[in-house]
Structure 1
Amino acid sequence: MPRPIQATIDISAFSQNLAVARQYATKARIMAVVKADAYGHGLFSAVSGFNDADGFALLELDAAIALREAGYQRPILLLEGFFSTEEIAEFQRYRLSAVIHHEEQVAMLTKSKHALDIFLKINTGMNRLGLTPDRFSLIIQQLIDSQCAKSLTLMTHFANADVPSEKGSVIQQFESFLSITRDYHYPRSVSNSAAIVRYPETQSDWVRPGIMLYGSSPFPDKTASELRLKPVMTLSSKIIAIHDLQIGDKVGYHALFEADRPMRIGIVACGYADGYPRHAPTNTPVLINDQRSRLLGRVSMDMIAVDLTDIKHAGLNSAVILWGEGLPVDEVAHYANTNSYELLCAVAPRVKRKMMR
């Protein structure tokens, strides 16, 4: 028997979540974000579920080429663009769109004598990637004059669209973007998952949903179910050992949990080497036999301890859901003081993926 931990990927949930995104963004084309192996779900599983997407966005050139070689013909956007002149020929060969976010990329593209579909990124306050507003007009004119842009799309990225109290900064970024680009009549791409839902006025020609497509809420104050999103990944395992504790008995490394009553605990085949968050504390929720229970003590590399005291019919091989169907990944992330992006992306290669349609 193989080790029982697995990540079940519900392909139909990809399609359902994409349909929800389209209901929010009725007039825009959808660039489904599939970077980081589709947030840990598997690139080809995701794109098969995103069959109705208008394009795909990712960071990894080899993954983009693999999509093309597998026959995907829709636009594919590399969100950090190219990193060397040598890569540009591959972009042209495989018809890949490139984000240009600094002037050196323009110099590389001009030197290469190739022409690409370009998304020109402007820094409107995120201060991560993007041209400064004062350089935008010069750079876009260089691209036009050099004829190295087969097409141009203008883009930016919001820093705070997921934070309810930051509406002002979102609108400020958007208005800055509109002001900078007002004299240029090219397609635009601005909205991420949070903006698609909360700021419909920012939607333009292309939207770029990411986390919502995987069934997780982009907001701390709204659940995925409230947004009609369905979890795609269910991380599950089984009980592999059971212990009875007396008052004062301790559990796990550094004895972080001490029993205050007679208890029954189970050991689950799942640890931080599988991608479960090491800093998840006691009381982080789990489901055992579809009943809600809790983590006990320190997460170790390959195992966690859970409370079986009040769980009916729990025993060896009882099913444990770490997150997914019945237990939102957002809730687990909240207990672990992180976000769902990190948990989903961190699921280790050693965890078997099971595809379900």
Structure 2
Amino acid sequence: MRRALASIDRSALAHNLRQVREFAPRQAVYAAVKADGYGHGAVTVAGALAGVDGFAVSSLEEALQLRWAGRVEPIVTLSQPLDATICAQAAAHDIRPVVFDRSHLDVLADYVGPTLSVWIKLDSGMHRLGFPAAEAAALDRQLAVLPHVERVGWLTHLGCADDIEHPLTEQQIANFEAATATLDGQCSIANSAGVLAWPASHADLVRPGIMLYGSSPMGHASAAEYGLRPAMHLSAPLISRRRVAAGEPIGYGATWCAPEDMDVGVVGIGYGDGYPRHAPSGTPVSIRGRRVPLIGRVSMDMLTVDLRTVPEAEIGERITLWGPDLPADEVAEAAGTIAYELFCRLTPRVAFETI
């Protein structure tokens, strides 16, 4: 009996890429596959996204993983600090780092070697990484004189695009467009929320992430409303069931007590597999297509569920933690987190398969 199993649906990934192109039909698409493809397996995800224009990752190590797997598309590293060694390796493997800090300018000024293609990140209002947008023209002149550095384009990142009422997104788009209007190179603004809700952010190139994996970045609309399909089905077996008397406690800390004589199931997954320990009683799992609440605290290897509505559940059958019949966004909301974290925190104890 296999314990925790994550099944990755390649057809769902391909479908979600087509949805990106429906929303942004004229733009190049760089798929965000950082954090091992948001926990789905970067190489698996990249292989499923036929026709994608490029990839966005966090680091040189993540980029090299794709190169070693045979990917030839452009790859951008979004948050890789630069030094001489990083620059040399990036140039050798046609990996395109993002320049986001003044220390990088000194490194690039000293760089000698094969042409290194770079993106320049502007801070349009999120105030995390990037140069002040007003300095774009000066940066362009500074980099233009470096003989071994080629400027590919300009990018920024949206801080509040998941909230269609927040004014910051329009301000960021306006700041970025004003800063880059007279400069050469491609422009990229949109993340998944930008793709879905802010057409003005589409620019030349979009960088979708979470929507490729079948989750919605928008608080007001589900993934299904955008035509997205879950790419991961996380399941685990029912390993035990027992009858518990009314008033008896369940699990560590006795945080939940049976309101009546009832059947309780034990599922073979816990925080040691990456399921959130903080998920409260009431967080849904799915048994035979029906929502069933988690009860008591999540343990390292197990969690317990209320079987009163599925008395026919049998030991050995697989329970869905999230997947096609239980969106990860719904689980994340119940657990007080986001689907991104659910996907990324799965541990090596979880077995993976591709379907």
Q: Same fold (TM over 0.5)?
A: yes
What secondary structure sits across from 1:306 in the alignment?
Answer: strand
- Structure 1 residue runs of 4+, over 6 Å off? none
Q: Deviations over 1:197-228 (max 9, x none)?
A: 10111111110000000000011111111110
Determine the structure 2 residue equivalent to 1:126.
Answer: 126
Question: CA shift at 1:60, angstroms?
Answer: 2.7
Matches within 5 A, 1:6-21: 6-21=5-20
CA contact 2:189–2:201 (8 Å) conserved in 1: yes
Determine the structure 2 residue equivalent to 1:341.
Answer: 340
1:310 & 1:66 partners in 2: Cα distance? 46
Matches within 5 A, 1:105-116: 105-114=104-113, 115-116=115-116
Determine the structure 2 residue equivalent to 1:48.
Answer: 47
Question: CA shift at 1:134, angstroms?
Answer: 4.1
What secondary structure sits across from 1:204 in the alignment?
Answer: coil
CA contact 2:4–2:349 (8 Å) conserved in 1: no
* 2:274 is equivalent to residue 275 of structure 1: yes
Determine the structure 2 residue equivalent to 1:156.
Answer: 156
1:245 & 1:300 partners in 2: Cα distance? 19
Determine the structure 2 residue equivalent to 1:93.
Answer: 92
What secondary structure sits across from 1:165 in the alignment?
Answer: coil
Select between 101-110 and 34-43 the one with higher mean Cα deviation: 101-110
What secondary structure sits across from 2:266 in the alignment?
Answer: strand
Q: Deviations over 1:271-300 (max 9, x none)?
A: 011111111111111111222211001111
Select between 208-217 and 178-187 the one with higher mean Cα deviation: 178-187
2:244 & 2:330 partners in 1: Cα distance? 28
CA contact 1:130–1:156 (8 Å) conserved in 2: yes
Q: What amino acid maps onto 1:5 in structure 2?
A: A
What secondary structure sits across from 1:265 in the alignment?
Answer: strand
Determine the structure 2 residue equivalent to 1:30.
Answer: 29
Determine the structure 2 residue equivalent to 1:293.
Answer: 292
CA contact 1:9–1:232 (8 Å) conserved in 2: yes
Determine the structure 2 residue equivalent to 1:305.
Answer: 304
CA contact 1:274–1:350 (8 Å) conserved in 2: yes
2:40 & 2:185 partners in 1: Cα distance? 33
1:152 & 1:217 partners in 2: Cα distance? 30
Q: Deviations over 1:152-199 (max 9, x none)?
A: 201110000001321x21000110111112221321000000011101
What secondary structure sits across from 1:53 in the alignment?
Answer: coil
2:71 & 2:151 partners in 1: Cα distance? 20
CA contact 1:31–1:208 (8 Å) conserved in 2: yes
Q: What amino acid maps onto 1:216 in structure 2?
A: S
Matches within 5 A, 1:76-87: 76-87=75-86
CA RMSD, 1 decimal: 1.2
Q: What amino acid maps onto 1:335 in structure 2?
A: A
Determine the structure 2 residue equivalent to 1:322.
Answer: 321
What secondary structure sits across from 1:146 in the alignment?
Answer: coil
Q: What amino acid maps onto 1:64 in structure 2?
A: A
2:38 & 2:290 partners in 1: Cα distance? 28
CA contact 1:289–1:318 (8 Å) conserved in 2: no
Question: CA shift at 1:147, angstroms?
Answer: 2.9
Select between 327-336 and 131-140 the one with higher mean Cα deviation: 131-140
- How many pairs does the alignment contain? 354
Select between 282-291 and 214-223 the one with higher mean Cα deviation: 282-291
Q: Output the TM-score relative to the length of structure 1.
A: 0.96
CA contact 1:239–1:269 (8 Å) conserved in 2: yes
CA contact 2:284–2:292 (8 Å) conserved in 1: yes
What secondary structure sits across from 1:27 in the alignment?
Answer: coil
What secondary structure sits across from 1:48 in the alignment?
Answer: helix
Determine the structure 2 residue equivalent to 1:189.
Answer: 188
Runs (5+) with no aligned partner, structure 1: none
Identity of aligned residues (%): 37
1:257 & 1:117 partners in 2: Cα distance? 57
What secondary structure sits across from 1:164 in the alignment?
Answer: coil
* 2:241 is equivalent to residue 215 of structure 1: no
* 2:135 is equivalent to residue 135 of structure 1: yes
Runs (5+) with no aligned partner, structure 2: none
Question: CA shift at 1:242, angstroms?
Answer: 1.1
Q: What amino acid maps onto 2:248 in structure 1?
A: D
CA contact 1:103–1:139 (8 Å) conserved in 2: no
CA contact 2:143–2:151 (8 Å) conserved in 1: no
CA contact 2:173–2:200 (8 Å) conserved in 1: no
